[in-house]
């Protein structure tokens, strides 16, 4: 079954909600990077969050989220736009004991630090914002970012369930945003619904689909649910793009590399591209 993202508005347009089920997307990331469970859960949450936050992006608009913590996972990056997402973890082989609640210790893997968000809306300059990590659990950190950097009262929920066989049993998330003029009673209803969620993955197991989650969470608020959008893990790197990146280093740097073949590796999909000496010298001759 394809991964899907669905948007909805409710309460006379004063409340916006987006949900996404990302089982295949997270599985693709896990398999691409050969992630162990801690890295799988952390990156899976970040990928899902990036898809939710970029749900309104069009064309070549991009959202990049970078989590820079002092935990053993190191840096995490997710890059999303138009229903496609890619990402990586600096240290994918981290092993940590489970938490007291018998859950994967994502916060322990991430540690303390900062979250950086870049929105490239194809204007003159990308917009950038940053906040300190408040928990390292990703969802709470994104909620804090939305509240303090974008000044939008929000709630983010994310979850990834990994089996001992490294299969993604469930993955998904939601983003709720209160728009200007949203009545307090509507906010109270949503706070109550969010408080009922013991586990995001259990919620998706119970309600089955992103639409099922929307129908339950927005019950009584006259929701308008839009058509689902397909989402996937996708990297758009290519040999041509890598070549342009190398050329952009300039002649001084290329001169240092011209005596042997150059091999580059994409962080997002692990694709390797080799540029022979003759090709590098041809760049320098132009």
pLDDT, residue 21, reads 98
157, 17 Cβ separation under 8 angstroms: no
pLDDT, residue 10, reads 97
Q: How far apart are CA 61 and CA 156, in angstroms?
A: 22
Write out 46-95 in H/E/C secondary structure: HHHHHHHHCCCCCCCCEEEEEEEECCCCCEEEEEEECCEEEEEECCCCCC
Listed by start position, the domains of the chain span 4-233, 239-285
pLDDT, residue 168, reads 98
Q: Residue 81 has which token pair?
A: 């736009």
Q: How much is the average pLDDT of 268-281? A: 93
pLDDT of residue 41 exceeding 90:
yes
User: Which residue is associated with the tokens 């204007």?
Assistant: 123
pLDDT of residue 286 exceeding 80:
no
Q: How much is the average pLDDT of 64-68? A: 98
Q: Residue 18 has which token pair?
A: 């987006």
Question: Assign residue 223 a region: left if phi > 0, alpha if psi is -120 to 50, beta otherwise?
Answer: beta
Determine the 3-state secondary structure of 22 from DSSP. coil
- pLDDT tens, residue by residue, 207-263: 999 999 999 999 999 999 999 999 999 999 999 999 999 999 898 888 888 888 899
pLDDT, residue 257, reads 82
Q: The domain 4-233: what is its CATH number?
A: 3.55.30.10
- pLDDT tens, residue by residue, 108-119: 999 999 999 999
Report the top-level CATH class of 239-285: alpha beta
Q: How far apart are CA 218 and CA 239, in angstroms?
A: 46
- pLDDT tens, residue by residue, 17-34: 999 999 999 999 999 999
pTM of the model as a whole: 0.94
Using pLDDT thresholds of 50, 70 and 90, give the confidence band for residue 266: very high
- pLDDT tens, residue by residue, 73-121: 999 999 999 999 999 999 999 999 998 888 999 999 999 999 999 999 8
Q: 199: exposed, middle or buried (C-beta count within 10 Å: 0-12, 13-18, 19+)?
A: middle
Strands 15-21 and 168-178: antiparallel
Q: Residue 249 has which token pair?
A: 């280093």
| Alpha-carbon distances, residue 158 vs 70, 76, 92, 187 (angstroms) | 22, 16, 20, 20
pLDDT, residue 258, reads 81
């Amino acid at each position: 079954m394809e991964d899907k993202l669905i948007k909805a508005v409710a309460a006379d347009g004063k409340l916006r909600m987006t949900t996404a089920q990302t089982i295949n997307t997270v599985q693709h990331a896990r398999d691409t990077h050969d992630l162990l469970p801690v890295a799988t859960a952390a990156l899976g949450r970040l990928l899902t969050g990036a898809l939710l936050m970029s749900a309104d992006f069009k064309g070549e608009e991009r959202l990049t989220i970078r989590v820079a913590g002092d935990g053993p996972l190191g840096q995490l990056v997710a890059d999303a736009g138009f229903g496609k997402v890619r990402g990586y973890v600096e240290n994918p082989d981290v092993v940590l004991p489970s938490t007291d609640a018998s859950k994967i210790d994502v916060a322990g893997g991430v540690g303390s630090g900062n979250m950086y968000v870049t929105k490239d809306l194809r204007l003159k300059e990308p917009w950038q914002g940053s906040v300190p990590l408040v928990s390292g659990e990703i969802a709470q950190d994104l909620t804090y970012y939305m509240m303090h950097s974008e000044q939008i009262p929000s709630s983010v929920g994310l979850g990834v369930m990994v089996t001992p066989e490294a299969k993604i049993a469930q993955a998904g998330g939601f983003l709720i945003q209160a728009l200007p003029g949203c009545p307090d009673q509507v906010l109270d209803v949503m706070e109550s619904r969010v408080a009922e969620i013991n586990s995001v993955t259990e919620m998706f197991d119970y309600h089955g689909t992103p639409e099922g989650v929307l129908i339950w969470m927005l019950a009584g608020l006259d929701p308008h649910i839009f058509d689902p959008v397909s989402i996937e893990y996708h990297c758009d790197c290519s040999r041509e793009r890598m070549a342009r990146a190398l050329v952009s280093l300039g002649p001084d740097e290329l001169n240092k590399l011209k005596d042997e073949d150059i091999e580059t590796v994409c962080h997002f999909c692990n694709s390797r591209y080799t540029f022979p000496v003759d090709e590098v010298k041809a760049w320098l001759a132009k």
